[in-house]
Amino acid sequence: MDENMKNTETPGAEAPVHKRRVRYSGTHPKSYKEKYKEHNPEKYKDTIEKVIQKGSTPAGMHISIMVQEILDFLQIQPGMTGLDATLGYGGHTKAMLQKLEGQGHIYALDVDPIESAKTKERLASQGFGEEILTVRLQNFADIDQVTKDTGKKFDFILADLGVSSMQIDNPDRGFSYKVDGPLDLRMNPLKGTSAAERLTEVDQEELEGMLIENSDEPYAKQIAKTVMKWQKKGKAITTTTDMRHVIEEALAFLPKGEQKEAVKKSCQRTFQALRIDVNSEFEVLYAFLEKLPQVLAPNGRVAILTFHSGEDRLVKKSFKELQRAGLYSDVCKDVIRPSAEECVRNGRAKCTKMRWAIRSEE
């Protein structure tokens, strides 16, 4: 045998184990779970920052909106007791916890068992454990139950009524028409009726009314009619892609040059209308607003972020009526908007409105 062909390894040494290189899945992986580095934001900080600098929200995380404006109004002091009615990713919660400086307590509510568990663990790892933060898997319509259980009223309350970006970016939840997934749209996927199931329960008139009332959809009649047409033909509408195709078919009468933008906006509005319906969002908000004065301490402050006109109208009307009734000493006269700089950095902030109220002295 040629000397150059002989094994030159040290006698007794183990031959290195050959490991196959992990196959690159390409720029268009089959599964969305292969695509987003951002689903683990702590591990990919450079990637996250690049995405944010472009004015986008990284998949799997949420950029909190109007944090400074909220803190400026709430005037949180160490020792206070507060409530974050909509925990989400926990960005607002963390900012409020920092203001407590280790003294006081915040209760945080969320109906999403998947994301709230992640947020609780994330905040605990950052030093905000159960001694200062209590997370409850509970709908914010039941804020009076928190006061009943704890015997405490709140010096400050925040409610961010927007859908968390983590929910929007997860196709399994069905909140976005842009990627294929089950047409679900429930905040708590373990309870209630999905949007796909809901479509099988309503008639054309009810669906049309839902689209108009919940999202001011201008093509509500055409979309509702097309949904019924699909169902009569035995074509199930079970995925986000199915729903998008329904809307594309419903708007096919529009001039070709207008169709793409019209479909996009109608998809956004239709998904919003279905989400509001399956989660009973207006009913939940109404109950929350009605109970607010009962759970606020004298001179307690509440700030609410809304993301569409229906929500904002309810908040504005409630604050004014309860001020006239003497339950609020002051309410905001004009809606507060995020700064232009914030809207550039976070495109999802553009439609945000903030309103506030101050509880009167008892």
Percent of the chain whose predicted confidence (pLDDT) is above 70: 80
Q: How far is CA 275 from the centre of its chain?
A: 11
How would residue 162 be classed by pLDDT, with cut points 50, 70 and 90?
confident
CB 188 within 8 A of CB 109: no
CB 357 within 8 A of CB 322: yes
How would residue 189 be classed by pLDDT, with cut points 50, 70 and 90?
confident
Q: What is the pTM of this model?
A: 0.77
Of residues 178 and 341, more confidently modeled = 341
pLDDT over threshold 90, residue 140: yes
Place of tokens 């002989």: 6
Together in a domain, 289 and 271: no
Together in a domain, 78 and 153: yes
Together in a domain, 89 and 120: yes
User: Considering 278, 295, 327, which residue would you say is the last residue of a domain?
Assistant: 278
Average pLDDT over residues 282-304: 96
Radius of gyration of the chain (CA): 25
The answer to whether residue 331 is domain-embedded is: yes
Q: What per-residue confidence (pLDDT) applies to 240?
A: 92
User: For helices 67-74 and 91-100, what crossing angle results, to 10°?
Assistant: 40
Q: Which of 31-40, 164-173, 342-351 has the highest mean pLDDT?
A: 342-351
d(CA 173, CA 181): 7
The answer to whether residue 55 is domain-embedded is: no
The answer to whether residue 146 is domain-embedded is: yes
For residue 320, give its domain range: 67-165+282-359
Residue 36 half-sphere exposure, CB side, CA atoms within 13 Å? 19
Q: Beta partners for 158?
A: 84, 303
Q: What per-residue confidence (pLDDT) applies to 20?
A: 45
Residue 132 half-sphere exposure, CB side, CA atoms within 13 Å? 20
The answer to whether residue 202 is domain-embedded is: yes
Q: In sequence order, which residues have a C-beta less than 8 Å from that of residue 123 and are 6 or more positions away?
A: 90, 93, 94, 97, 133
Q: What per-residue confidence (pLDDT) applies to 62?
A: 58
Together in a domain, 82 and 160: yes
**Total domains present in the chain:** 2
* The two structure tokens encoding residue 136: 């409850």
Together in a domain, 72 and 201: no
Q: In sequence order, which residues have a C-beta less than 8 Å from that of residue 294 and are 6 or more positions away?
A: 144, 147
Which amino acid appears at position 78 of this protein?
A: P
